[in-house]
Amino acid sequence: MKRYLAFLFFACLFFSNTLLAYNAIWSDDFHFNGGQITEEAIVLNPTDPLPYSSAMAEGTPVSLTILATDKNDTNIVAEVFSSQPNQFVEGFIFWDYTADEFKYLPTDDTYLLAEIIKSDSEVKRFERIVTILPEPAGLFLLGLAVLFYVRRRMNILAMITISLVLGALGLSAETEVTKVSCMQMWPFDRSVIINYNIASDSIDPTFKVSFYGSTSDGQVVFNLLKYGTISGEGANGIVAGSGEHKSFWTPSDYFNSWIRDNFKIKVEAIEQSTNLYMVIDISGGTNAANFAVSYLDSVPEGGWTDEYKTTKMVLRRIEAGKFYMGSLERERGRSDDEILHEVTLTKSFYIGVFETTKRQYILITGSNTNYNNNMTHPADCVSYRMIRGSGNWPRNNEVDEGSFFGILRKKTNMDFDLPTEAQWEYACRANTTSEFNDGSNLKPPIYISGDLAKLGCYEYNSNGNTAKVGKYRPNAWGLYDMHGNVREWCLDYYGAYQGDEIDPKGAPTANFIRVTRGGHCIDYAYACRSAKRSFITDSQRDIYTGFRVVLVLE
């Protein structure tokens, strides 16, 4: 019996490790330099992303636009370009995609197109290393070999138990991490690109991801988040969907003296049911004693129908995380109050997938204050005080009993509210650092934008009126109309940013002037940027101002 239990323990340990091997995979070693970047040589033009695919094989020319940003260096040249300092130029690259080292490289990563850069006769070469993993069947066969070796020592009960262990641990591993490759963008950037693939049998899966670093001996393993920041996918610890993913790790100053040829990174992914969407049934309106709350793990088949814009409200879960709030000084249309700073949000929250609509406002409050009767358009002509009452944020989060949020709280027993300004920008950006949340930036003239026309309702596509919510493209987190349509109330008083902050609550007081965000249907393009701040008095109500709902998770 003791022999049986011992074997059972080691079998469970073995197959648990096998399961972990599926869920967490190390990259091969790559060169890492933790030093600070002192000058910038050549960078890809961020406003012109270049799509390409592995179908471009064996000598097919690929056009690439680069920008030489170092004005003091007149000798900047790229091996495959004829370039001039501080100008946009085009050239051609000839890749042999049949080479083994390019076999698993992602086909949408423009950074991988610059192989050799020369500056003042010094050659900068980027190495690309891709991990090729064994097939899952190989690990399963190894498990069968273990059973074959011990089968004569086990009774039938033990064999059945081990079979169950295999079934539960070895064969039910639905999540598999593969094809992990890493490359640092030195000398242009200290960030490390982490490319990886996550596979699952589930439909529209969501994964909790973690990133770890080590040298090749593997003896010292550390969480990358403790020594830097993760951006791109996985910045909030969550990655959605099977397939190729890309994250960026920017190391902290802790690594200033590190130069390693044997650095490697591990990606760990665990599939989870996250209650990604919260749904509030408000169909009973003012006659309902309570509003039922339910959850969905994915967008329902058929998408978000008008039901979710009228008799139901849908909110999307956003995981806590860090981001840079504000804008770079070179951003077009920038205002002086958009000082770039790092913000840490320690609490996850749900936020409305759509702006609160006219029909939803009527069902909850029983009153119609809207400019017109387009029930799937955003609620308008609602002041901050009408929504919350005379509450004293940031001193407390109280709301008046008869206000929109007072009624919603009472009928759900949940503390719904407006977003803080930081929560709003974090949700809007969805891990982007660009001027709009699809990765695009403004081009002159800054009052009109073809990119914005795909994302929201603004001056040049609105005819002066708001649009039905959800008409335009969502951001990467599935949120609609974060740019344009109506500007949205935030909790905060308007005031200057206070530098890097944790869970900021805005200015302590500002004479009843509250922040609004997102721009509206007759704003110019630059006024609808992710970083753009606006403000009005909390009693003002007009056809250009609305709101969306938030629930912070404790």
Residues 442-485 have pLDDT tens digits of 999 999 999 999 999 999 999 999 999 999 999 999 999 999 99
User: Residue 62: is its pLDDT beyond 50?
Assistant: no
In the chain, % of residues over pLDDT 90: 48
* Range in 6-15, 76-85, 183-192 with the lowest mean pLDDT: 76-85
Q: In what order do the strands lie in the sheet with 116-119?
A: 77-78, 116-119, 122-125
Taking the C-alpha atoms of residue 56 and residue 49, their distance in angstroms, rounded to an integer, is: 17
* Residue 473 CB contacts under 8 Å (≥ 6 apart), including other chains: 438, 454, 455, 480
pLDDT of 334 > 50? The answer is: yes
What is the C-alpha separation between 364 and 382, in angstroms, rounded? 13
The structural domains of the chain, with segments of one domain joined by +, span 2-22+134-170, 30-132+176-271, 319-346+358-404+415-547
CA 268/CA 276 separation, integer angstroms: 20
Residue 141's φ and ψ, nearest 5 degrees, are: -65, -35
User: Considering only CA atoms, which of 193, 203, 224 is closest in space to residue 271?
Assistant: 203
Task: Using the predicted structure, report yes or no on whether residue 122 has a pLDDT greater than 80.
Answer: no
Residue 501 or 166, more confident: 501
Q: Would you say residue 124 has pLDDT above 70? A: no
pLDDT higher than 60, residue 252:
yes
Going by their DSSP bridges, the two strands 277-281 and 312-318 should be labelled as antiparallel
Pairing of strands 88-93, 513-517: unpaired
At 457 the pLDDT is 97
**Which CATH number is associated with domain 319-346+358-404+415-547?**
3.90.1580.10
For residue 406, the model assigns a pLDDT of 97
Mean pLDDT of 236-256: 85
Question: Which one is predicted more confidently, 22 or 401?
Answer: 401
Rounded Cα distance, 319 and 317, in Å: 6
- What is the band of 12 on the pLDDT scale with cuts at 50, 70, 90? very low
Residue with more model confidence, 320 or 106: 320
Of 67-76, 145-154, 190-199, 466-475, least confident by mean pLDDT is 67-76
Question: Residue 37: its pLDDT value, please?
Answer: 65
The pLDDT, as a whole number, for residue 365 is 96
Q: How confident is the model at residue 99 (pLDDT cuts 50, 70, 90)?
A: very low
**What sign results for the dihedral spanned by CA atoms 433, 444, 66, 439?**
positive
Q: Is the pLDDT of residue 338 over 90?
A: yes
pLDDT at 490 over 60: yes
In this prediction, residues 4-28 reach a mean pLDDT of 54
Residue 410 backbone phi and psi in degrees, to 5: -65, -40
Cα end-to-end span (Å), the chain = 47
* Average pLDDT across the chain, whole number: 76
The 10s digit of each residue's pLDDT in 178-188 is: 888 888 876 66
